[in-house]
Structure 1
């Protein structure tokens, strides 16, 4: 498995997300400036709703920037156990422990990117090849770790 390709794909997805959030925040701020009218309270309510949307987008942007900082620290070195930067193959699929950006496809292999904070990774954290773990009454075996 080429972990460099996985890391590059995740970095690209995160950079795209950051650009999207920055664009949305800019567009929302611009629409907030255009919302002026002589309607008094309705105007203030509308401005507040737009401000809440900006705050929500800003929070999501901050989370994505944190993911970007995390993925910058990850190397493609082999991992002896389940930890950040590990590519884990279980009898149920391939999982890459890093920032959660959903499913990616590398060389026609589907890989689910999962945060180290997720319940799945917490259940398998520190385990090695051949170890068994259970989550939500489903038992899985770790077949390989890269």
Structure 2
């Protein structure tokens, strides 16, 4: 498994999200400016709803920017235990301990990106190949760590 390639895929996904949020914010701000009118309170309500939408989009943008910051600090170096930056194969699947951006496909395999703060990673944190852990009454064996 090429961890640098996986990191590049994740960075690209996050950058796409960032661009999308920036575009949505710009479009929403433009439509907010279009609603300026002296027609009265109903337009003020509409403008307030648009402002709330901008605030929500801005929060999501900031979250994506934080994810990008985290991913830029992750090394592609091999790991010998489950920690941030480790690619872990269990008998239930492949997990990449980075930031959570969902599933990615590499070398015809689905890999779930998982935050180090997730319950799954907390359950297997610090474990090495061959060790067993249990989460939600499901026992898994760590088969390989990259």
* TM over 0.5, shorter chain: yes
User: What are the superposed Cα offsets for residues 87-126 of structure 1, whole Å, 9 maximum, x if unpaired?
Assistant: 0000000000001111000110110001111111111111
CA RMSD of aligned residues (A): 0.9
Task: Spell out the pairing of 1:51-66 with structure 2 (5 A cutoff).
Answer: 51-66=51-66
Task: Spell out the pairing of 1:16-95 with structure 2 (5 A cutoff).
Answer: 16-95=16-95
Q: Which runs of 5+ in 1 are unaligned?
A: none
User: What are the superposed Cα offsets for residues 109-144 of structure 1, whole Å, 9 maximum, x if unpaired?
Assistant: 110001111111111111111111111111111111
Q: Which residue does the alignment assign to 2:103?
A: 103
Aligned length: 146
Distance 1:142 1:25 in 2: 43
Q: Please report how far the alpha carbon of residue 52 of structure 1 lies from its aligned counterpart in structure 2 after TM superposition.
A: 0.7
Distance 2:124 2:131 in 1: 9
TM-score of the two chains, using structure 1 as the length reference: 0.96
Q: Please report how far the alpha carbon of residue 44 of structure 1 lies from its aligned counterpart in structure 2 after TM superposition.
A: 1.2
TM-score of the two chains, using structure 2 as the length reference: 0.96
Q: Which runs of 5+ in 2 are unaligned?
A: none
